[in-house]
Structure 1
Amino acid sequence: MLNRINARIGANVCLHDLRHTLCRRLFDDPGLNLIDAQQVMRHRRITTTSDYLRPRTDEVIAKVHEHYTRPKPSPRPLTGWAYDPNDLADVLGGA
């Protein structure tokens, strides 16, 4: 069946691609964790499941874009800190 679909739409999808899609969708569900995904995927080692955690390029681009378009927080004024002008003059030089 998959071969017929591939031939019809000009794709090259295999069953393993569907496993990758399933695992990505499990990760995207906030109600599931890595152990849950491991059980569904029937991986013996958690490291095998964690290999699927690599972010997609479009996700990385979206996060970086969000970072650079987010408003910068206003600097907080220093409170409770003062300096002696004489100490500063000793460190930096001057009268």
Structure 2
Amino acid sequence: MQAAYPFSATPTAHRVHIAHGTEVWAMCAIDALGIPDMLGTDALITSADPVTGETITVTSTGGHMTWQPSTAVVYVGQRSCTGPAADVAC
């Protein structure tokens, strides 16, 4: 098994540190952002800017998210329907 959405069985650039101590990898940045609400818990998400490599940190506390750097954004582009999202969008 390689994945069970939104979780990846292999390391990715999108790590989610769940409040009770478990660490998981997400398939993509969007998946990582959804994990805390999906599990109903606080979490710390770390990722990297795909262009600069700069570390991006997102803190999810009580359903509210803050991020550093404050200028970080997630861009989801339109892709053709040529396969699973994990293969063509993440």
| TM, length-normalised to structure 1 | 0.22
Task: Name the structure with the higher strand share.
Answer: 2
Greater RCO, CA 8 A, separation 6+: 2
Higher gyration radius (CA): 1
Q: If each structure's helix is expressed as a fraction of its own residues, which one has the higher value?
A: 1
Q: Normalising by the residue count of structure 2, what TM-score does the alignment of the two structures yield? A: 0.23
